[in-house]
């Protein structure tokens, strides 16, 4: 690097399969100012996460196979019968507890690193957002909105204050923290604009429904709108509504969308379990991306029912999620995927991935033959050329997900 401020995007000439410098992340007009040390901290924590996934987690598997599983089997007189027994047996093994302690503190350090940037810059960012969103009808906030218990009880993925807390009126630091620190957990695998989930679903829709021209699209749990912007860009004539309960996310989200030149998204603060402001059959497409696991059973059922009510006949509801725990998934893998549920403040994660989602769709009014199951993935080679060759099992780190949904 020569100090020109542009990080090289293509990997260096030496053999290197790691992640790029985090400066490859796109810097739009709302992106917080970062110092050299801030960026170095993000680089380090991203590498630490990857190291734990690729160099330490495999030892956890070895420890399970050679040590913890035989010990648990001898003690119980039978193999583990479910993922919870596997997790409890793993908690007795020092490799699992060491990996877990490191993973937990890495999550906490990620939040601290991101908040150090976002809170330090909070007033500047709030002023920028104010200039970009003042008087714009595409931002609808509801200060009276009751924050659901599933958001307020524990802060998801150890993010202090979660999506909704404002440090002062007009604060956007929660959104800025989410944006600036995202690279630490994704390592660039979601692409320059952290929009891999959105690009993945657009690619699926263009392939599976080549002539479809949805006119009205609802994205629920949009956070910054990072995954809905590719949808809005792919369907520029559509009216797109990005819904979230967190005002800082929405404020930041509209400002970010405008800075990126995407004009057809409205950012609305609401709880999607009840949306009386929208008419029956008023949407062609309802989308969520990595959202269902942050709900509760009651709210998820309500959102499924609202989705059924809000969709036009022929409309699609599509959820991008991590895979369900099916009987063919080894119990060890289930237990490792469950880590976030127990140790990274994702309390609904475990239940969501074991329930019969198809049955929930049917209960909400959808026809079983019209349910959708597929895989989707995003290509991050624009900033991370080596990612495509990365074959190590990562329990959720990669830009590859399951698609569950239904046609109305």
Partner 1 sequence: MSIALALDEAGRKPAGKRPYFLDREVERVLAITMAAVQELAVARERIDTLERLLEAKGILARGEIESFAPSPEQAVERGQWTQEYLARVLRIVQQEGEAIAAADKGDLYSEEVAAELTADARG
Task: Specify the 3-state DSSP secondary structure of 350.
Answer: helix
Strands 400-407 and 311-321: antiparallel
Residue closer to partner 1 by CB (options 152, 274) is 152
Residue closer to partner 1 by CB (options 60, 406) is 60
Residue closer to partner 1 by CB (options 343, 395) is 343
Residue closer to partner 1 by CB (options 44, 212) is 44
Q: Report phi then psi at 154, rounded to 5.
A: -130, 145
Q: How far is the CB of 400 from partner 1 (least distance, A)?
A: 28
Q: Which residues contact 178 (CB under 8 A, 6 or more apart)?
A: 114, 159, 163, 223, 224, 249
Q: How far is the CB of 251 from partner 1 (least distance, A)?
A: 17
Residue closer to partner 1 by CB (options 48, 399) is 48
Residue pair 22/42 in contact (Cβ under 8 Å)? The answer is yes
CA nearest neighbour of 165 among 151, 186, 150, 181: 151
Q: Report phi then psi at 402, rounded to 5.
A: -100, 150
Task: Specify the 3-state DSSP secondary structure of 357.
Answer: helix
Q: How far is the CB of 337 from partner 1 (least distance, A)?
A: 17
Residue closer to partner 1 by CB (options 162, 227) is 162
Which whole-number Å values give the CA distances from 112 to 29, 106, 205, in the listed order?
23, 10, 37
Q: How far is the CB of 162 from partner 1 (least distance, A)?
A: 7
Pull the structure tokens for residue 9. 């995007």
Burial 328-351 (b: 16+ CB within 10 A, else e): eeebbbbbbbbbbbbebbbbbbbe
Q: How far is the CB of 168 from partner 1 (least distance, A)?
A: 9
Residue closer to partner 1 by CB (options 157, 312) is 157
CA separation for the pair 44, 208 (Å, rounded): 40
Q: Which residues contact 3 (CB under 8 A, 6 or more apart)?
A: none
Residues near partner 1 (CB under 8 A): 1-3, 36-37, 40-41, 43-45, 48, 91, 96-98, 100-102, 104-106, 108-109, 111-113, 115-116, 119-124, 152-155, 158-162, 167, 173, 342-343, 345
Q: How far is the CB of 357 from partner 1 (least distance, A)?
A: 26
CA nearest neighbour of 110 among 172, 155, 77: 155
Q: How far is the CB of 119 from partner 1 (least distance, A)?
A: 4
Q: How far is the CB of 405 from partner 1 (least distance, A)?
A: 30
Residue pair 247/121 in contact (Cβ under 8 Å)? The answer is no
Percentage helix, strand, coil, to 5, in the chain? Answer: 45, 10, 40
Residue closer to partner 1 by CB (options 2, 389) is 2
Residue closer to partner 1 by CB (options 21, 195) is 21
Q: How far is the CB of 96 from partner 1 (least distance, A)?
A: 8
Strands 371-377 and 400-407: antiparallel
Please state, as a whole number, how many other Cβ atoms lie within 10 Å of the Cβ of residue 206: 12
Residue closer to partner 1 by CB (options 106, 334) is 106
Q: Which residues contact 77 (CB under 8 A, 6 or more apart)?
A: none
Q: How far is the CB of 113 from partner 1 (least distance, A)?
A: 8
């Amino acid at each position: 690097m020569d100090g020109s401020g542009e990080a090289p995007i293509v990997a260096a000439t030496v053999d290197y399969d790691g992640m790029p410098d985090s400066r490859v992340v796109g810097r739009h007009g709302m992106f917080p100012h970062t110092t050299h040390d801030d960026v170095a901290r993000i680089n380090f924590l991203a590498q630490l996460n990857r190291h734990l996934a690729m160099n330490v987690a495999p030892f956890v598997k070895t420890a399970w196979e050679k040590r913890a599983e035989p010990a648990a089997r001898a003690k119980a007189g039978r193999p583990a019968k479910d993922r919870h027994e596997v997790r409890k047996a793993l908690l007795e093994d020092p490799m699992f507890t060491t990996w877990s302690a490191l993973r937990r503190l890495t999550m906490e350090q990620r939040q601290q690193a991101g908040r150090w940037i976002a809170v330090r810059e909070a007033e500047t960012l709030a002023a920028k957002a104010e200039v970009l969103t003042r008087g714009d009808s595409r931002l609808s906030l509801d200060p009276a909105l009751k924050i659901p218990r599933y958001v307020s009880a524990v802060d998801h993925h150890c993010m202090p204050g979660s999506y909704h807390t404002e440090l002062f009126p007009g604060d956007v630091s929660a959104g800025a923290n989410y944006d600036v620190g995202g690279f630490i957990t994704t390592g660039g695998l979601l692409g320059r604009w952290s929009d891999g989930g959105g690009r993945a679903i657009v690619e699926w829709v263009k392939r599976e429904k080549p002539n479809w021209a949805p006119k009205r699209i609802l994205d629920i749990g949009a956070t910054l709108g990072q995954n809905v912007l590719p949808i809005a860009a792919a369907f520029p004539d559509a009216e797109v509504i990005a819904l979230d309960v967190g005002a800082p996310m929405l404020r930041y989200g509209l400002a970010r969308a405008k800075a990126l030149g995407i004009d057809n998204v409205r950012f609305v603060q609401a709880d999607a379990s009840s949306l009386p402001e929208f008419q029956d059959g008023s949407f062609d497409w309802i989308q969520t991306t990595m959202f269902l696991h942050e709900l509760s059973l009651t709210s998820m059922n309500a959102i499924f029912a609202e989705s059924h009510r809000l969709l036009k006949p022929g409309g699609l509801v599509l959820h991008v999620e991590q895979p369900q725990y099916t009987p063919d998934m080894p119990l060890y893998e289930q237990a490792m995927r469950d880590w976030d549920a127990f140790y990274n403040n994702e309390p609904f994660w475990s239940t969501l991935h074991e329930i019969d989602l198809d049955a929930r769709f049917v209960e909400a009014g959808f026809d079983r033959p019209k349910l959708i199951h597929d895989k989707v993935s995003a290509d991050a080679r624009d900033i991370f050329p080596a990612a495509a060759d990365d074959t190590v099992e990562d329990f959720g780190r990669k830009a590859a997900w399951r698609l569950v949904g239904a046609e109305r």
